[in-house]
């Protein structure tokens, strides 16, 4: 079997087992692969051109196995960090928001990733930031983008709850790049940059907490349910932001808009449409980054996030010393405003992240017993987390078993 056939077979094993996250790292390794939306509405690699000779010499199959989050993920242990059992390595943590009120307003929570992106490129610390934004040709879709200045950063502000493969962006691994992406994209790039460039030399990696990637068709259906049919041209589509958490909003060609709350859009339409790989993710908290941002919701009396509109606040976790130094310099230069924060109060307002990790070993076991294949997850302490809550883990295992059986081998989300 030649390299191209071996790589394609390894990718097919990941995709067919439902373990592809759509990160795009394989398409970065082999430009003959393109990320395209499949019949279920998720980004998947498709071969469009042969493997190039130059790629063939770089042991592409080994690199794929090391980086693909559908094959496995290793928890990193950066120098100087302390490991939180639910939230991963922590060098330092703050409540944070963009000092610039326009950026804070535009951002998903505190606008921190947008503020850092604008600052990194405007000061020449990065030659570009890779991020995601609405497709200018069709705002229902999301595309990767190279952020080169503040305007580009503001245009890419806000969460896109839909497939987009930032790790496929051709400049993602260049040492002068800063990269914003989902935890799976960032873990793939961390693995590649550590082996190619060394741990200190690779791109600056920024991530965010991630509950999972919903199908593109969930966005299209939500738009239709608001009275905007799929063939109507629209000017803009935002999932949230412009206030916190901000509404799912579509701006039509005549300037009018339709909207629904974050609670409704995520809770009823988008959240239930996430792909299978995200349901078995050990790392929704961006452990492999230099800096990870999260929503820092205020909690109601049951400890659940309160989704009422207010000025946005992010939690910012420095995972590495490099990330901590960047945050402190951004604050010293007036880019970010920081306030002290206790890491346990962040875990308290992230019930999905908490529960998914605590019971994940049940979900993984149920999948295997139902005949499914799972990626290898190392260093996340999943068994230790499961032991004090075996009843809940057992329930999760039964649920995963039933679901996996019902999905069969061909219709995996
Ligand atoms: C799919 C998804 C799931 C999420 N799940 C959670 C969760 O469980 N808990 C939680 O606290 N927060 C979640 N978030 C929100 C995320 O934590 C916030 O974006 C984070 O708080 C950063 O806020 P910010 O205001 O600093 O970011 P912003 O300043 O708004 O910057 C957001 C950055 O993320 C990039 N981006 C947006 N969407 C995507 C995407 N789909 N793929 C790659 N890059 C993207 C943008 O280009 C931009 O650079 C999720 C976001 C997404 C996209
Ligand atoms: S998880 Fe990422 S690297 Fe692995 S096959 Fe899917 S897109 Fe490619």
Pairing label, strands 257-260, 248-252? antiparallel
Pick the atom of ligand 2 nearest to 188's CA: 3
Tokens of residue 156, six digits: 């890419």
For 274-291, how does the pLDDT look when each residue is reduced to its tens digit (9 = 90+)? 999 999 999 999 999 999
Q: What's the pLDDT score for residue 17?
A: 94
Q: Whose CA is nearest to atom 5 of ligand 1?
A: 210
Phi/psi for 206 (5° steps) reads -115, 135
Confidence tier at 42 by pLDDT (50, 70, 90): very high
**φ/ψ bin of 237: left (φ > 0), alpha (ψ from -120 to 50), beta (otherwise):** beta
What is the chain's Cα-based Rg? Answer: 20
Could you tell which of 8, 15, 20 is best to mutate to test the pocket of ligand 2, judged by most ligand atoms within 8 Å of the CB? 20
Least confident of 185-194, 291-300, 344-353, 390-399: 291-300
Alpha carbon distances (Å) from 136 to 92, 156, 172, 233, 242: 37, 11, 21, 11, 19
- Higher pLDDT: 114 or 2? It is 114
356 Cα–ligand 2 center, Å? 22
For residue 159, what pLDDT band results from cuts at 50, 70 and 90? very high
At residue 205, does pLDDT exceed 70?
A: yes
The class of domain 3-73 in CATH terms is: alpha beta
Kindly report the average pLDDT of the chain as a whole number.
Answer: 93
33 lines ligand 2 (CB under 6 A): no
Is any atom of ligand 2 closer than 6 Å to the C-beta of 23? yes
281 lines ligand 2 (CB under 6 A): no
Residue 241 has a pLDDT of 78
The structure tokens listed for 188 are 């793939």
Region of 351 please: left (phi>0), alpha (psi -120 to 50) or beta: alpha
Supply φ then ψ for residue 318, to 5 degrees: -85, 115
Query: Rounded to an integer, what distance in angstroms lies between the CA atom of residue 199 and that of residue 319?
Result: 13
Cα–Cα distance measured from residue 387 to residue 367, given in angstroms and rounded to the nearest whole number: 19
Whether the CB-CB separation of 186 and 289 falls below 8 Å is answered with yes
Mean predicted confidence (pLDDT) in 124-142 = 97
Q: List C-alpha distances in Å: 203 to 49, 126, 289, 398.
A: 27, 9, 10, 41
Residue range 186-195: average pLDDT? 95
pLDDT of residue 229: 94
What is the sign of the dihedral through the CA atoms of 360, 362, 368 and 371?
negative
Centre of ligand 2 to C-alpha 27, Å, is 8
* pLDDT band with cut points at 50, 70 and 90 for residue 311: confident
Q: How far apart are CA 182 and CA 301, in angstroms?
A: 30
Picking from 56-70, 86-100, 120-134, which range would have the lowest pLDDT averaged per residue?
Answer: 56-70
Q: Are 102 and 363 in contact (CB under 8 A)?
A: no
What pLDDT score does 40 carry?
A: 96
What does the alpha-carbon distance between residue 44 and residue 37 come to, in Å, rounded to a whole number? 6
pLDDT band at 195 (very low <50, low <70, confident <90, very high): confident
pLDDT in tens, 218-247: 999 999 999 999 999 999 999 997 888 889
Indicate the top mutation candidate among 6, 9, 10, 11 to test ligand 2's pocket, ranked by most ligand atoms within 8 A of CB. 11
Looking at per-residue pLDDT, the higher value among 80 and 54 belongs to: 80
Which ligand is the nearest neighbour of the Cα of 106? Answer: 1
Q: Which atom of ligand 2 is nearest to the CA of 185?
A: 2
Residue 297 has a pLDDT of 75
Sequence-separated (6 or more) residues with CB below 8 Å from residue 391:
none
- pLDDT greater than 60 at residue 123: yes
Task: Tokens for 192, please give them.
Answer: 């590649």
Residue 54 has pLDDT above 90, yes or no: no
Q: How buried is 295 (Cβ within 10 angstroms: 0-12 exposed, 13-18 middle, 19+ buried)?
A: buried
How would residue 299 be classed by pLDDT, with cut points 50, 70 and 90?
low
SS3 letters across 156-178: CCCCCCCCCCHHHCCCCCCCCEE
- pLDDT (0 to 100) of residue 307: 61
Protein residue with least CA distance to atom 17, ligand 1: 294
Atom of ligand 1 nearest to the CA of 129: 49
- The position carrying tokens 């910012």 is 316
Could you tell me what percent of the chain has a pLDDT over 90? Answer: 86
Contact of 274 with 212, CB cutoff 8 Å: yes
What pLDDT is stored for residue 200 in this prediction?
Answer: 67
Q: Among residues 148, 82, 155, 96, which one has the least CA distance to residue 293?
A: 96
> Ligand 1, residues 35, 86, 97, 108: which to mutate, most atoms within 8 A of Cβ?
108
**Owner of token pair 């279920």:** 40
Residue spans of alpha helices (H) in 215-306: 216-225, 262-264, 276-279
Q: Which ligand is nearest to the CA of 182?
A: 1
296 Cα to the center of ligand 2, angstroms: 30
Decide the pairing of beta strands 336-340 and 92-98: antiparallel
Spacing, Cα 254 to ligand 2 middle (Å): 39
Tell me: pLDDT of 306 over 70. no
**DSSP code, position 380:** S
Secondary structure class of 300 (helix, strand, coil): coil
Residue 1 pLDDT greater than 80, yes or no: no
Ligand 1 lined by 296 (C-beta under 6 Å) = no
């Amino acid at each position: 079997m030649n390299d191209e056939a071996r790589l394609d077979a390894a990718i097919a094993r990941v995709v067919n087992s439902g373990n592809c996250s759509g990160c795009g790292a394989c398409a970065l390794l082999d430009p003959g692969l393109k990320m395209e939306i499949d019949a279920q509405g998720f980004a998947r690699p498709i071969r469009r051109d042969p493997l190039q000779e130059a790629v063939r010499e770089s042991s592409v199959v080994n690199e794929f196995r090391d980086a693909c989050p559908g094959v496995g993920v290793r928890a990193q242990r950066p120098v100087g960090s302390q490991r939180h059992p639910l939230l991963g390595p922590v060098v330092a943590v703050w409540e944070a928001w963009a000092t610039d009120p326009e950026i804070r307003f535009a951002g998903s929570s505190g606008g921190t990733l947008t503020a850092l992106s604008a600052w990194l490129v405007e000061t020449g610390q990065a030659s570009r930031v890779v991020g995601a934004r609405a497709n200018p040709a069709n705002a229902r879709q999301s595309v990767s983008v190279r952020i080169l200045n503040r305007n580009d950063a503001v245009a890419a502000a806000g969460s896109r709850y839909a497939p987009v493969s930032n790790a496929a962006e051709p400049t993602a691994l260049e040492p002068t790049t800063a990269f914003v992406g989902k935890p799976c994209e960032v873990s793939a790039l961390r693995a590649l940059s550590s082996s190619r460039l060394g741990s200190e030399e690779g791109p600056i990696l920024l991530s965010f907490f991630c509950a999972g990637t919903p199908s593109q068709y969930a966005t299209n259906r939500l738009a239709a349910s608001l009275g905007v049919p799929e063939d109507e041209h629209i000017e803009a589509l935002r999932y949230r932001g412009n206030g916190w958490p901000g509404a799912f909003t579509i701006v039509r060609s005549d300037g009018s808009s339709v909207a629904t709350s974050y609670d409704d859009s995520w809770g009823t339409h988008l959240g239930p449409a996430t792909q299978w790989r995200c349901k078995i993710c050990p790392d929704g908290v961006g452990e492999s980054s230099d800096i990870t941002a999260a929503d820092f919701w205020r909690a109601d009396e049951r400890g659940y996030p309160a989704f009422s509109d207010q000025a946005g606040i992010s939690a910012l976790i420095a995972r590495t010393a490099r990330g901590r130094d960047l945050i402190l310099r951004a604050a010293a230069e007036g880019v970010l405003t920081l306030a002290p924060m206790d890491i346990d109060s962040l875990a308290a307002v992230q019930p999905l992240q908490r529960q998914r990790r605590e019971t994940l070993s049940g979900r993984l076991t149920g999948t295997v017993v139902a005949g499914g294949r799972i990626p290898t997850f190392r260093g996340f302490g999943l068994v230790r987390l499961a032991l004090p809550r075996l009843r809940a883990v057992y329930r999760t295992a039964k649920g995963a078993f039933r679901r996996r059986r019902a999905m069969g081998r061909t219709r995996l989300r």
